[in-house]
Structure 1
Amino acid sequence: MTTIGIMADSDILERFGERVRKLRKKRGWSQEEFAHQCGLDRTYVGGVERGERNIALRNIERIAETLEMTLSQLMGGI
Structure 2
Amino acid sequence: MTVRLRTMEADYLNVSTTSGTPKYAFMGVGFTKADESPSAKTTSKQYINQKSAVQTITSYDWKMAVEADQIK
If asked which structure has higher relative contact order (CA below 8 Å, sep 6+), I would say 1
Q: Which protein is bigger by CA-based radius of gyration?
A: 2
Q: Same fold (TM over 0.5)?
A: no
- Shorter-chain TM-score: which interval? under 0.3
Higher strand share: 2
TM-score of the aligned structures, taking structure 2 as reference length: 0.23
Q: TM-score w.r.t. structure 1 length?
A: 0.22
